[in-house]
Amino acid sequence: MVKFAIERWVVVVVLSFAIVLMGIVSVINLKIELLPDINYPMVIITTVYPGASPERVEKDVTEKIENAATLVNNVKKVTSTSAEGLSIVRVEFEWGTNLEYSIFDLRQKLDQIRDTLPDEAKTPSINKQNVRSILPIAFLALTGNLDRKYLRFLADEVVSKKLESVPGVASTTVLGGLKREIQVIIDPSLVYKYNFPVFNVINFIKANNINIPTGYITLGNKDFTIRPFSEFYSLEEINLVPVKFEYGKAIRVQDVAQVVDGTRDVQSYALSDFKPASYVLVFKEADINTVDAVKRVRDAVPIINRALPQGANLKVVFGFDERLIPIIRNIQEEALYASSLAILIIFLFLLSFRSTLISAISIPMSILATAIGLYFNNTSINLISIGAVALAIGRIVDDSIVVIEAIQRNIANSVINGVEDLKKVIIKGTNEVLPAIVASTLTTVIVFVPIVFIQGLARELFLDFSIVIILGLIASLLVATFIVPPSFLFFYKSNYNISHENFTDKILNYIRKPYTAILQIALKRRLVTLIIAFGIFMFSLFLLAKSKKDFLPTGAFPVINIQVYNSVGGTLYDTYEKGLKVLRIVYDTARKYTHVLGATMSAGGDSEAVTFLVSISGASTISSICETRVKFESKDFDKYPLIIREAREKINEIPGITINVVDTFRSLAGLGGTKQIEVVIIGQDIDTLWELGNKYKSKFERIPGTLDLDLSWKKGVPEFRIEVDRRKAAFYGINTLDVTNLLQIATSGTLAGKYKEKGYEYDIRVRIPKPINEEQMLNLPIFSPVLNKNIPLREIAYNTPSYGPVIVERYERVRSIRIYGNKDPKYSLSEILDNMKKIFEEDPLPSGYTFQFKGEEEQRSDTFVAFTLIIFLGVFLIYTVLAIQFNSLIQPFILMVSIPLELIGVVLAINAFGSSLNLMSLMGILMVTGIVVSNAVLLIDYANKLREEKGLSVEEALITAGNIRLKPILMTTLATIFSMIPLALGLREGGYLLKPLAIAVIGGLSSSTLLTLVVVPVVYSVVEDLQKKFLNQGKVRVTQEGE
């Protein structure tokens, strides 16, 4: 292969240019996302049951849907939320399940129970939990010194419709402003006077506002559609609608009600830079690139602004790309710094511009070759994939370094009289190390293969990481084999005199002397050496058990996003006022430390946004939700913890609220619904759950590191329970549904069709003025068909003041309550949960009640189990590759001694840098596992050669191999370590996520390299002696049997 590359160098050059060109095209066309496409195996079943209480929703809808869902194959877990008029059932499947088939099966099961659901309940809708489409990609604010009703009209009818026509935009949702509607306000006293059913107003308005084709007639050779056309064109037409005929006279709407061109009850507030606004949330199609979609939205904003009237202004207050692009750019820059540091280390060792340039070629060539693979695999440029490139750079140059060092050493030890002699030496030097670099590359690559075979979030997150590492290292091996040798010939054919010893070599000679002495002592005191190595390993296991453990690291972003939850029973306006106080506190605090770019707030949510808001917030009622966001300069992102700490102290002084400081990365990644701390208490009785939830929440709040603890539902919501006396109601011919419909008209109103004007449609809502006390409510008129007149509601019903839960939660079909919150970054998740376990042990739950840790702890536990499996499979595959390479069942065990020696460095580095054992540091351990074996391969492979070719003894071969391989081992190790330093520092926005990974690699590689150079030769020596001993004993037995 090497000879072919040198002889047919034109082929190599042409193919190299082809790779460069295709790689550049691939990079340009790769999609950009924050994270890989995470397809959670979860579907959400949403059912609207208007007017039903949470307990009624639970009994009539949620329980039936849960029972049906559990009959579907591969269901892992079923949880649910029953709220006022809304049932949300979450069905989580096993990872790897084909959701399309499961949804089809689930739909069939729901069809079978449809007749058992209440008639008033809407048809259940099934939606997949897709991270890329469930969250808005952009928040737009429409502001201006215009009437709030007109502003909302522009948001609904102009902005939203134009945005939805933008390619890649799936839908929009509007918050804030006043939405126009035509209100028919009935006077209850006139209902009593004329004695007609209140529902007549709704029914007759609907009956007189139709536009329905009824069929067609044929005249001659043409068909004509027959369409009764009777739509309202003015409010006067609504006024003239008859609601009753009495003595030949029509009683019309205008006789009993007032028709008003008004606005819907305020359901949400929105502010942009403390000015009233209407928000437009933009959602993209699932398969569309996020950055492209946001760019199209941004491009559309100036066009839309030109279509708006003077005084209105539309702007993007937050776009997904605002954080995504800087993060990706920062990682790319750190990859460039990593390349520079790796090349610097190579130059310091080789002290040759030509050799350094040859080795540096491997970096862009490998990266571009990797980009081609990513393009054809439809893998995006994301934080994980670009981070893998940055982390792999140090390892990418390793193969080229080893080849160059071998060629230089052979040139220095050979007499060269011409180009042909140089070719032979290049081929000899490359072939000398080729088996070793093939084995070392395969051992690094093979450890990532098991990720393909596991299921879960770890696979979804790190499959891209594995693909990049595998493609990059295979590309680096090919570069070292086919490009480095002819490049070396090209640069050195006119001047192939290489100094036998440069300045770096002299320094290495000083290092070799103590190293040789240490190795000789270790080979003479083998038992002591092995006991020390074993002791170090056991100590590392002890430290590992004591180390902090998290799911994901916590970092800082130049966006402060705080969700505010109002107290039980608080009005929407009260929520808005408290949220405004929080926004002002955060805004003023941030201004002390940085330049604030914007402040936004939304409180409540329109009915169209209910499902979305409930899914992302976990709040009990929509009117209690308020979300604040303050954005500041990116360069001051590290001020985030300081601002939060100071603002939190002031926010805690606001009575009646709880807050949730949203982790921006988790939110952007679609993990915002997964709480850092989440404890589920499971039991059947609502009152007991409420008491237990409050009791343990109070205890948990005293644990150091817990923040923003709250309960997933609240009891104590004041309510009027209208109890119907069934006997009296039956006497008057009135049913419960009539009562429910009457109360709906008197509180929220009932829709009675659409009013069209200039091509736009507005709701027509029939209502009775909202009662202001119990007496007015019980005096509402309800029509008795038996008496043929209205009677007061009090005749058949009475009011029982009560308090009830806002929502009812269920976990695996049993009622539950969750205690959830955040943690201080200074504390690890493991130490907080350990303290919680102690509380449960000291004060156990009553019989019939259990608890489970969920949220990030569940994700962490599942991930750690998966990674344990990956490590074991990876180690087995490494053994397989080494056994094939060395044609031995014993020597692979010698080489793999370097794997446990990495652990002490990883643990010490994690604790020294104040990091924790998390998903990222686990990936670092996995990466080191593959790398450390390559150093042992270089050492033992050369020792075997010396014994075979020169007949050296075991000790002589090991000492000679150690001295000769010291330079390439140190060079490759230091190149990898120094290339990790920019990421390990984590000084840029987004860098905190990859910081634990780099720290783990630096620590593990450092300890394993130093110990490998001593311990592996000792183990090799012991094994060789044992083999010789058993071989001699076998020969003795054979001789004795022969005699």
Contact between residue 625 and residue 575 where contact means Cβ atoms under 8 Å apart = yes
Q: What's the confidence (pLDDT) of residue 614?
A: 46
Domain assignment present for residue 1029? The answer is yes
pLDDT value, residue 610: 47
Query: What was the pLDDT predicted at 672?
Result: 53
Q: What pLDDT score was predicted for residue 236?
A: 92
H or E element that contains 109: helix 99-113
| Residue 1039: pLDDT over 70 | no
The whole-number average pLDDT for the span 937-953 is 88
Mean pLDDT, residues 382-411: 85
Determine if residue 912 is left, alpha or beta; phi over 0 gives left, psi from -120 to 50 gives alpha, anything else beta. alpha
Average pLDDT of the chain, as a whole number: 86
Do 246 and 148 fall into the same domain? no
In a domain, 746, yes or no: yes
Same domain, 957 and 1032: yes
Q: Are residues 278 and 158 in the same domain?
A: yes
The reply to whether 668 falls in a domain is no
Would 629 be classed as within a structural domain?
Answer: no
Exposed e or buried b per residue across 430-463, where buried means at least 16 C-beta atoms within 10 angstroms of its C-beta = bbbbbebbbbbbbbbbbbbebbeebebbbbbbbb
Q: What percent of the chain has pLDDT over 70?
A: 94
**Residue 98: predicted pLDDT:** 87
**Residue 457 has what pLDDT?**
75
Q: Are residues 304 and 410 in the same domain?
A: no
pLDDT at residue 407, rounded to an integer: 87
Who wins on pLDDT, 562 or 455?
A: 562
The CATH number of whichever domain residue 146 belongs to comes to 3.30.70.1320
Domain ends where: 500, 532, 565? 500
C-alpha 651/C-alpha 708 separation (Å) is: 11
Q: Please check the confidence at residue 609 and state whether its pLDDT lies above 60.
A: no
User: Do 777 and 874 sit in the same domain of this protein?
Assistant: no
Task: Reply yes or no on whether the pLDDT at 615 is more than 60.
Answer: no
**pLDDT tens digits for 732-781?**
999 888 898 899 899 888 889 899 888 888 999 999 999 988 899 999 99
Q: E strand or H helix at 799, and its extent?
A: strand 797-804
Helix (H, G, I), strand (E, B) or coil at 524: helix
Note whether 272 and 408 are same-domain residues: no
Is the CB of residue 813 less than 8 Å from the CB of residue 66?
yes
Record the tokens describing residue 233, joined without a space.
């064109």
Position 843 scores a pLDDT of 94
Q: Are residues 405 and 388 in the same domain?
A: yes
The residues pairing with 219 across neighbouring beta strands, listed in sequence order, are 222
| Statement to judge: residues 1012 and 894 lie in one domain | yes
Does residue 270 lie within any of the structural domains? yes
Instruction: Indicate the SS3 state at residue 784.
Output: strand
* CATH number, domain with residue 45: 3.30.70.1430
Highest mean pLDDT among 112-121, 846-855, 928-937: 846-855
Q: What is the pLDDT of residues 467-491, one digit of tens each?
A: 999 999 999 999 999 998 898 888 8
Q: Say whether both 120 and 11 belong to one domain.
A: no
| pLDDT computed for residue 38 by the predictor | 75
Distance CA 101, CA 124 (A): 18
Task: Identify the DSSP state of 265.
Answer: P
State which residues form the domain around 10: 1-29+351-500
Domain boundary among 500, 526, 544: 500
- Residue range 781-821, pLDDT digits in tens: 999 999 999 999 999 998 888 776 678 899 999 999 999 99
Same domain for 364 and 234, yes or no, is no
Kindly state whether residues 482 and 542 are assigned to the same domain. Answer: no
Q: 219: exposed, middle or buried (C-beta count within 10 Å: 0-12, 13-18, 19+)?
A: exposed
Model confidence over 68-108: pLDDT tens digits?
Answer: 999 999 999 999 999 878 899 999 998 888 888 999 999 99
Instruction: Say what angle helices 383-396 and 353-376 make with each other, to 10 degrees.
Output: 150
Average pLDDT over residues 524-530: 92
The pLDDT tens digits of the residues spanning 659-672 come to: 888 877 776 666 65
Give the total number of structural domains in the chain.
Answer: 5
Query: Is the CB of residue 658 less than 8 Å from the CB of residue 601?
Result: no
Tell me which of 455 and 856 has the higher pLDDT.
856
Domain assignment present for 1025 = yes
What mean pLDDT is predicted for residues 431-440? 87
Kindly state whether residue 816 falls inside one of the protein's structural domains: no
662: part of which helix (H) or strand (E)? Answer: strand 657-662
Residue where the block lists tokens 């569940």: 858
Whether the predicted model's global pTM rises above the 0.75 cut: yes
pLDDT score of 1034 more than 70: no
pLDDT in tens, 440-458: 888 888 888 888 777 777 7
Burial class (CB in 10 A: 0-12, 13-18, 19+), 161: exposed
Looking at the fold, whether 255 and 364 belong to one and the same domain comes out as: no
Kindly indicate the confidence band of residue 414, based on its pLDDT and cuts at 50, 70 and 90.
Answer: confident
CATH code for position 918: 1.20.1640.10
Q: Is the pLDDT of residue 844 over 90?
A: yes
Q: Which structure tokens are listed for 445?
A: 């690559």
pLDDT tens track for 707-735? 989 888 877 667 788 888 989 999 999 98
Contacts of residue 928, defined as CB under 8 A and 6 or more positions apart, other chains included, come to: 902, 906, 1000, 1001, 1004, 1005, 1008
User: What confidence category does residue 131 fall into, taking pLDDT thresholds of 50, 70 and 90?
Assistant: low
Asked whether residue 682 is assigned to any structural domain, the reply reads no
In 3D space, the residue among 385, 370, 352 whose CA is nearest the CA of residue 33 turns out to be 385
Cα 507–510–511 angle (5° rounding)?
Answer: 90
pLDDT per residue over 211-220, tens digit each? Answer: 777 777 888 8
Beta bridge partners of 853: 679
